[in-house]
Structure 1
Amino acid sequence: MHDLIIRGGTVIDGTGAPAIKADVAINGSVISAIGDNLGPAREEIDATGLLVTPGWVDIHAHYDGQLTWDPYVTPAGWSGTTTVVVGNCGVGFAPVRPDQHDFLIQLMEGVEDIPGAALAEGISWEWETFPEYMDALERRSFAIDIGTQVPHGAVRAYVMGEDANVKEAGLDDIQKMADIVKEGLEAGALGFSTSRTTLHRAKDGQVVPGTYAASDELFEIGRTLGQVGHGVFQLAGDYVPEEYEIGWMKALSREVNKRVLFSMVQSAGDPDQWRRLLQAAEEDAAEGGQLTPMIAPRPVGLLLGFESSVHPFLLHPGFVALHGLSVDERRAALRTPEVRESILNDAPDFSKADGLLAMFTVGFEQMFPLGEKPNYEPAPEESIAARAEKKGCTPQELLYDIMTSETGNLIYLPMLGYVDRNLDATSELMRHPNSIYGLADGGAHCGLISDASIPTFLLTHWARDRTRGARIPIEELVENQTRRTAECYGLNDRGVIAVGMKADINVIDFDNLEIHEPKMTYDLPAEGKRFLQKITGYHATLCSGQVIYRDGAPTGNLPGKLIRGPQAAANLNQAYETGLVS
C-alpha cells in the first residue's frame, strides 16, 4: 500500500530522457516506484492527459525577508517551484547588528525594489549571526524548501560598519569576514554571494558593500568554500575590466575547486560581451574549471504602468499633482479628460535624457504593450513607436490610453536580453551546455518586474507557443530547471523523478497552461505593493510527497523545510531497508 500514486501521466523525469507513460508512487517524502500496476494507494491523483515533472528548482530568488512572514513564499509555488535559493547578489538580512536593521532594509529596497516599509513591518528580527538567521527559518514551516547563501553586503556591514560600501577592507577585516562566511557555510548555507555591478545601489544611491572589493578579499572569503567542502560563489557583475574580472573568477574556482556562478545577460551597451563570457566559460570547462554563467530565459524587462515604480509620466507635473490621492482615487482621476489633458500637455523636456531615464520616458521603440495574454517576444512593428505612427497619434497619447485601460494596461520595456528584438540570442544561451537557468528574481523588483513565472514560461513559450524562432524540446527545458539547477547547488536528492528521490512533483495540464497578465497588489506588510501573476494549468504540486497546491489553490500543507548544506543522492539500499521503497 503506497501513500500516493500519480496514475496515467506522461512522465518527463528531469534527466533529458524522452517522456514516457508511467505511474509514480510515493511513500513518505520519497518516490517509491515508477511503472505500471503499482498496486493500491491511500490517495491517488489522476494524471491522464497531463504531464508529470519534477518540481522546479529556482536558484535565484530574493525572498530573504518574506520568509519570516509568508509560509507559502508566494508566488513561487504558483508556478510549480518546490525549492528556492535566496541570499543572491550580495544582499540579505544576516548577519546584522541590532542598530543595522534599517541599513540592510534600505540596501535591499534599493537593489531589489522591495518596499522598505513592508520589510520594516514584516521582518521579525530574531537573529544577529547568520547561523541564528538559519535557526529562525528552521523554526518555521513552509510550503516549499528553502536554501540560503551568505550575502557579502551584510557581512561587510557587520564587520566594517555602515560605510562598508566605501571603505577598503584591511587584513583584519578580511579575516573577520571570512570567519563569518565559514560559520554560515558550516551551519548549512549553500554558498556565498556578492555584487560587482554599479546597477545595484542602495536606496541612498551607494553601491552594494563589496562592489569594488579587491581580489585578496574575494579570495580569502572564497577559500572558506574549500575549507568547509561545499558551496557556490555567486555574483552579479559588469565584468569590467573584463580580462581582470574573468581572470580572478577562474583562478578562484580552480584554487578552491568550487563553482563560480556569474549572472550573464545580453546588454545593449556591449551586445557581444555575452559571447566572450560564454567562450571564457567554455575554455574554463575544457580545462576542468567550474566557471558557470547563469542566464535568464526571457528578457529582463520592466513593467510600466501608472502604479509601477517608474513609468513614462512619472515626472509630468499633472501626475505629480495626484500623489496625495489614494490608489482608487488616482485610478479614477487618470481616466478623466481633464487629467489626461493636463498630463499630456505639460511634459518635462526629456530631449537630453540618457540612461534609464531616457528608456522609460522616451524609449518608445523599446516599449511594447504587454497585453492581456503577455507577449514576451514582441516584434519591432508592435512597439509603441510603430503603433503610434500607424495610428496617427503621439507615442505619449497611445501610452496613456493603454495605461488607463481596465485590462492589458501594462507596457513592457525589455532592458536586457532583447538587443536584436527577438529571443534568438537567449535561445543560444539556454541551449549552451555550460549555462544554468536562473535570474527569475522571485520576491524582488516588486514594483517593476514579475519574473517568478519564468519556470512556467519555459513550457508555455519555449516548448509550445513560440512563433518567431525555433522551440526547445520540453525534456531539455525540464532538465535544465530541475536536475541541473539542483545539482548546481549540490541538491542531489531532488530534480529527477526516480525511485528513492525526493517526491517534489508537478502535475501539469500542458495544453491549458497559461501565464496571465501581472496585476499590482497591495498585500505585503504595511500595504506594500508588488506585481503578482496568476498561473493556471498546474493540476497539482507536491513537495516532499505532500500536495501543496491543487489547481492553483494552496492545500494548507506545509512540508517545506530549510535546507542545510548539500543533499546526498538517493540511497536506495537505505530506502529499501526502511520500507519506503518496494
Structure 2
Amino acid sequence: MGEGSLIIENARIIDGSGAPAFAGAVRIEGNRIVAVARAGDALDVAAAAVIDAGGLVLSPGFIDAHTHYDAQVIWDKMIDPVALHGATTVVTGSCSFTLAPADARTIDVIHSLFLKAEDLRLANYADVVDFKWSSFEDYLDRIRGGLGVNVAPLFGHTPLRHHVMGADAQKRAATADELAQMCELLRGALRAGAVGLSMSFLDTDENNVPIGSRWADEEERTALARVLVEEGRGVLQSNLRFGPGSDPNGELEQLGRISKATGVHVEALGAFAASAEDPVYRSMLATTERLQSEGADIVLQTTSKPFDQFLQFNANFFVFFLLPHWQDVMNLSVPERIAYFSDHSKRPALRASLELEGHLDRFMKSEVLEAQTPSVRALEGRLVADIAAERGADFLDTLLDIALEDELRTVFALRGFAHTDPDCLTQILTHPHTRPASGSDGGAHFYQFSTSGDSTTLLARWVRERGIMSLEEAVRKLTSVPAAEFNIRDRGVIRPGNYADLVLFDPDVIDNNPTERRFDLPDGSGRYLNTAKGVAMVFVNGRKVVENGAYTDERPGLIV
C-alpha cells in the first residue's frame, strides 16, 4: 500500500491517552491521521481505501524505550522482530553505548564495548559495522532511509568521553575544557536528531575496567544534562549497577539531584526483582517516590518479561561479569577456560561466588537444551540438578563437567532465572514511577536470551491473564507516556495531526510465540527471539509494514 487515503473502520479505538476505548474509525492521509470518528458519526470515505478492523483494538504504535539496535539497524533495516510485536518506534543508544562519535583512536574501543557489554559477538562484526562515519550526524545519515520502524536515537556518553579525552576517558573526570567540548558535541548531536543522552553506572570493558561513562563526576553529568534541557531534548537515560558492592539507591540519589538542578527527565534502568525476598527493588521504588516528591523528574525502567537465560560457557554471560572470579574466567580464551574449569581446585571459589545473592539457587534451574557431543546430546531436556542427584555429585561440578564434555558448546536453559515472582512484578509494573515494557535491551544479548516481546507480554500476561491494569492504561504506558517523556513529537496518541503509527491487534489473542533460535545474523550465527501472535496489522507513518505476522515491502520509518 503506498501513500494515499485510508480509512480503518469498525475498530475498538484505544487512543493512548488513557481514555476509555470507543468504537470508531480513523482516516489517514499520507503519513498523518486527519480524522477520528466515533461509531455513528459521519466520516468522509470518498477516494479512500477502507480496512474493516472487525472490532479489533486499534491503538497507537508501541514505543520500545530501551534498546541497543544501533548495530543491527545497519544490516537489518526492518529491525526484526520489533514491528511484529506492534512497536513502531525504538529508542536506541541506551546505557551510554552508541556507534558515534568515532575516530581512528576510538573505533577499537567502541567495537570492544559492543562485543563485550552488549554481547554482539559477530565473527564479521568489523566488516558489517564498518565505521564509514565519524560524527553522530554521519551515523544517522548512514541508517536513514529504508527503515521499517522509526528510530529515536540517544547519544552515548561513553564514546563521547573517548572522543574528547582519549584513553583518559577511563582514568579520570573531565577537565573544564574537555567538558566544554563534550557539551558542544552533545548540542550538535541533539540538533542532528538525538532525543537525549545515555549514561552508565554499570558496565566494564573487556579488562573489567569501568567504562568511560562511569568515570564522570556529578558536575560533568549535571553540565551535560543542562545542555539537554537547553536544547529541548531533555531526556537523560542511565542504567544502574547491581551485584555485590553496588549501590543503586545512591546512583538514583545522584540522578535525582541532577534532575532537580536542571529539570531534566531521567529514565533509570531498572527495577528488577531477583527473587520474592529481594529487598533492593522495594528500596528503589521508595527512593524514586521520595525523589519525585522532592521535585525530581525520575522514573524507573523495567521489563514485563521474566529473565529466561541461555548459558554457554564458551560465550559471554552477563551475570558472570557481576561476580568475583567468574568475570576473570570469562575474559579467558575458550582453551584457557577449559583448562580453568578442569582444575577442581578452582571450583570452590567459583561456587562461593555464585552463592552471593542467591545466584547458585537460580542456576539450579539449568536444563541441558542443546549439545554437540553425542554423549551430552543424550542429556538434552533434562535438569542438571536431576543429573547431579543421579550421579551423586555436586550440582556445580556436574554443570561444569557436562560443559567440558561438550567442549563448552552446550546450551543450558535457565528458565525463570530471575524477575519471576508475580506479586513482586505486580508491584513493580503498577507503580506510578515505573515504565513497564521499557527495559527490553533489544539488539543486545541475543545469544543469551530473547529481548523481544515486552509489549506483548504486558498485554497478555499482565492485562489479559492477571488483570493488574486496564488495557487502556497498558496502552498509555506503551505509547503516549514514552512519547511525551522522550519528546517524540506528534506520536503516541490517535488524534488528527499526529503521525499514523498504529497497531491493530486482538486483545484476546495477542501474545509471544515460543522462544526460537534463528540463525540469521550476518555471520550465520544464531539469536534467540520471539515473534508474536494476535497482531493483525502495523502501520508506520501511514504505511502498512506488518500484516498477519508477516512483513510487507514497505519501509517508511524515520529518524524521529
1:501 to 498, 501, 504: 498
Distance 1:299 1:65, change over 3 A: same
1:97 to 96, 99, 103: 103
Q: Is the 8 A contact 1:90 1:208 kept in 2?
A: no
Q: Does 1:425 align with 2:424?
A: yes
1:221 to 204, 221, 224: 224
State the match for 2:486 in structure 1: 489
Displacement of 1:308 in angstroms is 7.1
State the match for 2:375 in structure 1: none
Identity %: 26
SS at 1:164 equivalent: helix
Deviation string 1:401-451 (CA, Å, 9 cap, x unpaired) is 9xx9xxxx9623545534xxx122221121112222311011111201212
Q: Is the 8 A contact 2:449 2:529 kept in 1?
A: no
Q: TM-score, normalised by structure 2?
A: 0.81
Equivalent residues in 2 for 1:381-392 (5 A)? 384=383
Q: Does 1:171 align with 2:173?
A: no
State the match for 1:296 in structure 2: 303
2:280 to 273, 278, 291: 273
Deviation string 1:342-361 (CA, Å, 9 cap, x unpaired) is xxx99997444248866999
State the match for 2:260 in structure 1: 254
State the match for 1:510 in structure 2: 507
1:20 to 16, 19, 22: 22
Equivalent residues in 2 for 1:169-208 (5 A)? 169-197=174-202, 200-208=203-211
Deviation string 1:269-288 (CA, Å, 9 cap, x unpaired) is 99323223222322232333
Distance 1:346 1:209, change over 3 A: closer
Displacement of 1:458 in angstroms is 0.9
Displacement of 1:391 in angstroms is 9.4
Deviation string 1:456-481 (CA, Å, 9 cap, x unpaired) is 11112112234xxx543222111111
Instruction: Give me the whole-angstrom Cα distance separating, in 2, the residues matched to 1:289 and 1:43.
Output: 48
State the match for 2:37 in structure 1: 34
SS at 1:523 equivalent: coil
Distance 1:522 1:248, change over 3 A: same
State the match for 1:561 in structure 2: 558
Distance 1:2 1:148, change over 3 A: closer
Equivalent residues in 2 for 1:2-81 (5 A)? 3-31=5-33, 32-36=35-39, 37-40=42-45, 42-81=48-87
Instruction: Give me the whole-angstrom Cα distance separating, in 1, the residues matched to 2:472 and 2:156.
Output: 34
Deviation string 1:7-43 (CA, Å, 9 cap, x unpaired) is 2222222122222222222121122223235343532
Q: Is the 8 A contact 1:68 1:124 kept in 2?
A: no
State the match for 2:153 in structure 1: 148
Q: Which runs of 5+ in 1 are unaligned?
A: 325-344, 373-382, 564-582
State the match for 1:134 in structure 2: 140
Distance 1:412 1:261, change over 3 A: same
Instruction: Give me the whole-angstrom Cα distance separating, in 2, the residues matched to 1:391 and 1:516.
Output: 34
Displacement of 1:546 in angstroms is 0.6
The aligned amino acid for 1:273 is V
Deviation string 1:529-567 (CA, Å, 9 cap, x unpaired) is 32122222211100111100111211111110111xxxx
Question: CA RMSD of the aligned region, Å?
Answer: 3.9
2:414 to 408, 412, 415: 412
SS at 2:116 equivalent: helix
The aligned amino acid for 1:255 is A
The aligned amino acid for 2:175 is G
The aligned amino acid for 2:123 is A
Q: Is the 8 A contact 1:11 1:52 kept in 2?
A: yes
Instruction: Give me the whole-angstrom Cα distance separating, in 2, the residues matched to 1:194 and 1:559.
Output: 30
Q: Does 1:113 align with 2:119?
A: yes
State the match for 1:158 in structure 2: 163
The aligned amino acid for 2:509 is N
Instruction: Give me the whole-angstrom Cα distance separating, in 1, the residues matched to 2:469 and 2:191.
Output: 39
Q: TM-score, normalised by structure 1?
A: 0.79
Displacement of 1:51 in angstroms is 1.9
Deviation string 1:355-402 (CA, Å, 9 cap, x unpaired) is 886699993555548999xxxxxxxxxx958877999998769x989x
Q: Which runs of 5+ in 2 are unaligned?
A: 320-325, 370-381
2:239 to 236, 241, 259: 236
Q: Does 1:462 align with 2:462?
A: yes
